[in-house]
Homo-oligomer: A and B are copies of this chain.
Amino acid sequence: MPEGVIERLPSYLGVLIQLRQDGCYTVSSAKLGELTDVNPAQLRRDLTHFGSFGKRGVGYEIVTLIDRIQGILGSSQTHRIVLVGAGHLGSAIASYHGLKARGFVVAAIFDTDTVKVGTRIGDLVVQDFSKMPRVVAEQKIRIGVIAVPPDAAQAVCDALAEAGIRVVLNYSTNMVRVPAGVAVHNTDPVRELLHTLYYLSRTEDMARA
């Protein structure tokens, strides 16, 4: 399965869920492509990677498509995640309602800062990071989110991997490295900003020309 497909599936899913809420039953590749900024033909080809269940002349049945994509991504069941770092970013993630709506539940929050340990964030009480391995093992949690200062990120990541975490989402500025068998996704706001900066200078060049 091509990497690009995997990256687009979550976008399709998001839009489809929105459409279902709006009361739609079917959607064409043209419409869905417009809403996700994807070429309709490519969208159709993406979907053929896991079967062919559109109806010619009609489009795709939304509920079927949602089911299918959730099956591929493995988001049909709810996933428990652990969150490391109870700072502003950690709080933002923990109290983010969009998570539950899409099948994610924050099972526990950890921090090394003794001042933060014991405080509440939403329904959860921040626990000491030393308890992380036990919680991960007992609840068989496989997803971890890192929201700690850059210097601590790698150490936290190593500990998560050691504890059995299989997927790491890293929100710190430092890229972290993982052993084989663990997937990591580094999404640093500053990197995103720098990336967009390039387009800023380009649009200005165009305006000047």
Whether B93 lies near A91 (C-beta < 8 A) is no
A125 within 8 A of partner (CB): no
Residues in B whose Cβ lies below 8 Å from that of A47: none
Whether A195 lies near B191 (C-beta < 8 A) is no
Whether B167 lies near A74 (C-beta < 8 A) is no
The number of residues on chain A lying at the interface, defined by a beta carbon within 8 Å of a beta carbon of chain B, is 63
Within 8 A of B (CB), among A130-148: 142-143
Whether B181 lies near A203 (C-beta < 8 A) is yes
Q: Which of A99, A197, A206 has the most CB of B within 10 A?
A: A197
A30 within 8 A of partner (CB): no
* Distance of A13 Cα from B189 Cα, bound (Å): 14
* Distance of A197 Cα from B190 Cα, bound (Å): 24
A104 within 8 A of partner (CB): yes
Expressed in whole angstroms, the minimum distance between the Cβ of A178 and any Cβ of chain B is 11
Q: Which of A15, A99, A102, A143 has the most CB of B within 10 A?
A: A102
A63 within 8 A of partner (CB): no
Can you pick out 28 interface pairs between chain A and chain B where the beta carbons lie within 8 Å of each other?
Answer: A7-B195, A9-B194, A10-B195, A14-B174, A14-B191, A36-B175, A73-B195, A73-B198, A74-B197, A74-B201, A75-B197, A79-B193, A87-B92, A88-B88, A88-B91, A88-B95, A89-B96, A91-B92, A98-B173, A98-B189, A99-B190, A104-B193, A167-B200, A167-B203, A182-B203, A183-B196, A183-B203, A185-B192
Binding site for B on A (CB under 8 A): 6-7, 9-11, 13-15, 18, 35-37, 72-75, 79, 81, 87-89, 91-93, 95-96, 98-99, 102, 104, 142-143, 150, 166-169, 173-175, 181-183, 185, 187-201, 203-204, 206-207
